[in-house]
Structure 1
């Protein structure tokens, strides 16, 4: 018979800390994307749902701000990133982000869980950039 272990408070706290760090890292990567030019021919290669979910996590950190120190709206972040990544802005980015966050099942893990796994395994500093390609035109 298989034994099951109950997670300790310390393990739960460690997991929450890793998640907090991953969200901060993701937010910094989104800011980097926003600082790029449309002329650089960057293209998002994953699903648009993944992009909206990633942008929504970054938005919820409330650390992406304008020149007056006011946090940018989700729509503003979406429009800028979609322009830079040559992706059409979805009609309902909130709905798409929520759909992504609520994915369930073995093969349908939400973006943040996959991002957390990738950032723990990857040696590259910018995990989000593994979903971005640059055209050589």
Structure 2
């Protein structure tokens, strides 16, 4: 069984999370600059067996696509071209940034640490992945 890799796409940064090989536990992997994502993924996928790529799907409260979807669509096309053997799924990511920030508060991180937007992106990817695992 391979890992599931979750992506929380952002214009500047991308948060990444993965499962264990049994696909039971989601954990944060890293945050990478958006410009470096394909080099990072190529390297990671050659080292680890990735069975599925899960990309966060931002939606409005009325279930319509978020304005950031404009940036995600071209990314999805390129992702599918670069890794045609790996299926790509989308998963609702509403409120993950707020949940990530609350997680940081609950874990007792200092104010300076909570301002680390890269950490928020990584935690958001983990929440997206854990949410997906809870329904499959």
More helix by percentage: 1
TM range (shorter): under 0.3
TM-score norm. by structure 2 comes to 0.28
TM-score norm. by structure 1 comes to 0.28
Name the larger-Rg structure: 1
